[in-house]
């Protein structure tokens, strides 16, 4: 379980609860991400990710992912989508087999970030021709893990 809390005007911390050790841990955001850039947490594959929209004239949209080497957590920038006009409206949903990333955009539209062309491409989904207003799409994975009773 993770939660996002604001520790100071410019820094965010993730409060992580480890089910195995039954302990809380704080994980800082990358130094380059500030609260004014409207970061958002999400899960992408098996990684905790965050997205941010630059508040400068370029309007770049970034996706960062967190890794755990067993003793510590670290953040790496996965990709930067240049000149996004509605970055806050993009939410990562899933990795594609070819390395592209599927995003949900406002009004239920799906787009794929084409990693070879470095651009967003609209995806047509049969049965979703009319705009639908999804709040969130969550990939589901079965697990045999069970918390301690």
Per-domain residue ranges for the chain? 14-30+37-122
Instruction: Quickly list H helices, the chain.
Output: none
Looking at residue 122, its pLDDT comes to 86
**CB-CB neighbours of 140 under 10 Å:** 5
Rounded Cα distance between 51 and 69, Å, is 22
CB distance 69 to 76 below 8 Å: no
**CB-CB neighbours of 21 under 10 Å:** 8
User: Can you list the residues of the chain whose pLDDT is less than 50?
Assistant: 9-10
Query: Furthest-apart CA pair in the chain: how many Å?
Result: 52
Looking at residue 114, its pLDDT comes to 86
In sequence order, the 6+-apart residues with CB closer than 8 A to the CB of 75 are 29, 30, 50, 64, 65, 66, 67
Beta strands in 82-132 (DSSP E): 91-95, 101-105, 109-114, 119-123
Note the pTM of the prediction, 2 decimals: 0.66
Looking at residue 5, its pLDDT comes to 52
CB distance 77 to 69 below 8 Å: no
Looking at residue 92, its pLDDT comes to 81
Looking at residue 119, its pLDDT comes to 82
Looking at residue 79, its pLDDT comes to 83
Rounded Cα distance between 129 and 51, Å, is 27
Rounded Cα distance between 68 and 86, Å, is 31
Looking at residue 93, its pLDDT comes to 81
CB distance 82 to 60 below 8 Å: yes
């Amino acid at each position: 379980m993770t939660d996002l809390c604001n520790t100071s005007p410019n820094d965010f911390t993730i409060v992580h609860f480890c089910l195995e050790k039954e302990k809380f841990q704080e994980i800082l955001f990358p130094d380059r991400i500030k609260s004014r850039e409207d970061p958002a947490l999400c899960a992408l594959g098996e990684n905790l990710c965050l997205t941010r929209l630059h508040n400068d004239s370029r309007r770049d949209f970034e996706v960062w992912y967190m890794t755990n080497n067993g003793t510590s957590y670290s953040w790496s920038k996965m990709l930067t989508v240049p000149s996004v006009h509605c970055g806050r409206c993009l939410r990562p949903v899933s990795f594609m087999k070819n390395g592209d990333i599927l995003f949900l955009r406002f009004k239920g539209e799906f787009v794929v970030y084409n990693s070879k062309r470095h651009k967003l491409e609209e995806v047509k989904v049969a049965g979703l021709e009319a705009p639908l207003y999804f709040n969130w799409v969550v990939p589901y994975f079965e697990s045999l893990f069970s918390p301690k009773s």
